[in-house]
Structure 1
Amino acid sequence: MHFTAEDLRLVLELVELLGRPSRENLIDRPDVIQKLASLFHADFIGHAVWSRHNGQFEQATHWGRDAHMAVEYEQHFQFLDPISPLLIGREDAVPSDSLIDRRTFRNTEYFSDFLLRYRVYSGVDLYPHDAGQIQFNYRFWTSNQKKRFGEREVSLLNMLRPYLINEYQLRHMARTNTQTDTAVENYASFLVQKSEKPKPNHKAHKLLAGLQPAEREALCRLISQIPYDPSVAAQWNGFDLCVEYAADEHKKGRAYMVYLLARTVGSGSWFQQHFDLTLREGEICPLLLKGLADKQIAAILKISYWTVRIHVGRILEKLAIDSRAGIGLAVLKASHNTSVDKAYLPHTSSIVFPS
């Protein structure tokens, strides 16, 4: 696919901006949204977050149209939207015209009663999702009835896909740090610079201490590759790896912070992140949540009954609960205090920032 010099310039500028954390929704960042509009030749950009809890889109926002449009979509028209169901299971960007015949689409109530009023006719959509559950969407559409979004727009959006996911995670983290007592230092993170070993913070040191030497080496090798290698999947042991530009104190080139963010509430990695548990303690917690007895846990993890007993005692102490029956309440309390939205973090593709 051929891209102009202007296309590539905008992509590089967007990659730079998307790698810088912000509490603001992407739609509310003029520096980003104007470049996206220019890149895709779109005059409407929509964004919404999928709530696994409620089974619908929430936090709908948009750029380029009347403010009421997002409210109407969230409250009513998302349930008439014929495009969304056709995108489930698709990882890559898709032009709307390739999903449904344009004439058929324009005969729908969704188009005639909603999009037509706002002069939104066709575009390209991206719905990153995890394990079949849509997490959030981006829509780049136009009021030009003759325009057809195709290979160019799909290629550009697929190029930006990992950076949009990464931006979503940075935003989630930035909002959590502001609205709760959680600080960035409470995430396991590594400072990454070329030709140097990743430098772990205190949380990452604790995580590394619970690993075997070969496991530590493999994780550090992965951390070193994440900002530079497009073929590397940004996941490890239940964590998503999120990349942020960092200040380079020694002026040796671009520096990055790689954060480990637990993917699923109640998972072993989530317990490690929130309660400073060891790797083994994190593995035991989801089994306790299922109500399994110590002997059953020992059999599953292939460790002794007495080792499980020791771990459970330490878990209760770290979670500040009196019995294993309180672990579910501890999860609910912790997830309530640290969740900014009800959506889980999305599946992360590889992330590569320009040097």
Structure 2
Amino acid sequence: MYLSAAKARLLSEVMVTLAEPHEEAQIRQRIGEQLLGLLEADHYASYVWNDEAGIFMDRVALNMCPRNLSAYEAYYQYHDPITSLLQQRRGPTLVGQVMPQSELVRTEFFNDFLYRDGLYWGVNLYAWDGDRNIGDMRIWRGRRRDNFDAESVGILELIRPAFTAALKRARKASALRAAPDRLTNVPAGSREASACLPAPGWSVPAEESAPTSRLLSGREAEVARLAAIGWPDKAIARRLGIGFTTVRTHLGHAFRKLGVQNRVQLASCLAGAPAGPRRAPPDRRATS
């Protein structure tokens, strides 16, 4: 795919934004602003699918009427003939690929919702974390423009992995910030502490089961937070001004105290989710 110098520059700016640490809504907002220029689009909206409630929520939008979007959230999303089909496609998809334009313009959804804001040609992208739809991009042009083309779809396909990864990182960081008490000042034996300790029946060495006032020390908590959101050990050392081997030592202590085996389990534990199957720590006591 050939891109002009101007579009290549805009695409690189998008990638830089996706590599930076931002809140989840900020990611969707900033990317929307950049995509309007990159894809020569007029309108943008982004939602997150709430699987439990069965609705789209957490709106971010550009060049769209808030009242019209409120009507979408209250009524039209339940009478939407295209979005569920686009969502199932997962990758970047032209609206015309799931419903011909000649059919779309005859629907209530088009005439009472899309047309009110001037939306005519659309392309959507949905970010997935396993089976969870964690965010989307709904990009539209007005009727006076041409439809999106293969280049537009190709650009979004290039962006999709970075967009998904950025949303996943933001979610993980948000979960860690929302539960700081899981890291420090958690009394041993409390309900909060039990979520991060080995399951009943595991063989826990005597020195690990001794009463303590905290699960992690302050420095262990700092190292664990950064490791859980993907920081490599050398970067953690530079950030905290400590040695590389010291980082490894603190991380080893955190793993042992929380009963986890790797960083994936560490992130799950600190976020409050089950860390998954873990082996019992080895019995270090001398045997006769």
TM-score norm. by structure 2 comes to: 0.66
Q: Which amino acid aligns with 1:21?
A: P
Residue 13 (structure 1) shift: 1.2
| 1:283 match | 277
Pair 1:18 & 2:18 matched: yes
| 1:191 match | 232
Structure 1 CA distance for aligned equivalents of residues 79 and 254 of structure 2: 49
Structure 2 CA distance for aligned equivalents of residues 72 and 86 of structure 1: 21
SS of the aligned residue for 1:82 comes to coil
Structure 2 CA distance for aligned equivalents of residues 20 and 128 of structure 1: 18
Structure 1 CA distance for aligned equivalents of residues 253 and 5 of structure 2: 43
For each residue in 1:79-114, what CA deviation from the matched residue of structure 2 results, as whole angstroms up to 9, or x when unmatched?
111112212432310011121110100111100111
| 1:169 match | 168
**CA distance 1:178–1:99, shift in 2 (3 Å):** same
| 1:96 match | 95
Pair 1:46 & 2:87 matched: no
Structure 1 CA distance for aligned equivalents of residues 122 and 152 of structure 2: 9
For each residue in 1:279-326, what CA deviation from the matched residue of structure 2 results, as whole angstroms up to 9, or x when unmatched?
7xx316xxxxxxxxxxxxxxxxxx9xxx79x9xxxxxxxxxxxxxxxx
Query: Greater share of strand residues, 1 or 2?
Result: 1
Query: 1:27·1:62 contact (CA, 8 Å) conserved in 2?
Result: no
Q: How does 1:1-355 map to 2 (within 5 A)?
A: 1-23=1-23, 25-26=25-26, 29=29, 32-181=31-180, 185-186=224-225, 188=228, 189-191=230-232, 202-203=250-251, 206=254, 272-274=269-271, 282-283=276-277
**CA distance 1:67–1:162, shift in 2 (3 Å):** same
Residue 46 (structure 1) shift: 0.7
Q: Which amino acid aligns with 1:127?
A: Y
For each residue in 1:260-282, what CA deviation from the matched residue of structure 2 results, as whole angstroms up to 9, or x when unmatched?
6x6xxxxx7775444799x7xx3
Residue 203 (structure 1) shift: 4.5
Structure 1 CA distance for aligned equivalents of residues 65 and 32 of structure 2: 16
Structure 1 CA distance for aligned equivalents of residues 170 and 60 of structure 2: 15
Q: Which amino acid aligns with 2:133?
A: I
Residue 18 (structure 1) shift: 1.3
**CA distance 1:27–1:75, shift in 2 (3 Å):** farther
Q: Which amino acid aligns with 2:70?
A: V
**CA distance 1:115–1:283, shift in 2 (3 Å):** same
Query: 2:56·2:73 contact (CA, 8 Å) conserved in 1?
Result: yes
Q: Which amino acid aligns with 1:116?
A: Y
**CA distance 1:33–1:283, shift in 2 (3 Å):** same
| 1:225 match | none
Structure 2 CA distance for aligned equivalents of residues 273 and 181 of structure 1: 8
Structure 2 CA distance for aligned equivalents of residues 161 and 175 of structure 1: 21
Q: Which amino acid aligns with 2:162?
A: Y
Query: 1:21·1:174 contact (CA, 8 Å) conserved in 2?
Result: no
CA-based RMSD of the aligned residues comes to 3.6
Unmatched runs of 5 consecutive residues or more in structure 2: 182-220, 236-243, 284-288
Query: 1:27·1:61 contact (CA, 8 Å) conserved in 2?
Result: no
Q: Which amino acid aligns with 1:101?
A: P
Structure 2 CA distance for aligned equivalents of residues 274 and 203 of structure 1: 17
Structure 1 CA distance for aligned equivalents of residues 44 and 161 of structure 2: 18
Residue 161 (structure 1) shift: 0.5
Structure 2 CA distance for aligned equivalents of residues 204 and 275 of structure 1: 20
SS of the aligned residue for 2:137 comes to strand
TM-score norm. by structure 1 comes to: 0.54
**CA distance 1:141–1:276, shift in 2 (3 Å):** closer
Identity of aligned residues (%): 23
- Paired residues in the alignment total 227
**CA distance 1:147–1:110, shift in 2 (3 Å):** same
Structure 2 CA distance for aligned equivalents of residues 167 and 10 of structure 1: 18
Structure 1 CA distance for aligned equivalents of residues 28 and 51 of structure 2: 24
SS of the aligned residue for 1:25 comes to helix
Q: Based on CA coordinates, which of the two structures has the bigger radius of gyration?
A: 2
Residue 66 (structure 1) shift: 1.9
Residue 179 (structure 1) shift: 4.6
Q: Which amino acid aligns with 1:44?
A: H
For each residue in 1:192-250, what CA deviation from the matched residue of structure 2 results, as whole angstroms up to 9, or x when unmatched?
789xxxx7664577559966xxxx8xxxxxxxxxxxxxxxxxxxxxxxxxxxxxxxxxx
Structure 2 CA distance for aligned equivalents of residues 47 and 93 of structure 1: 14
**CA distance 1:88–1:43, shift in 2 (3 Å):** closer
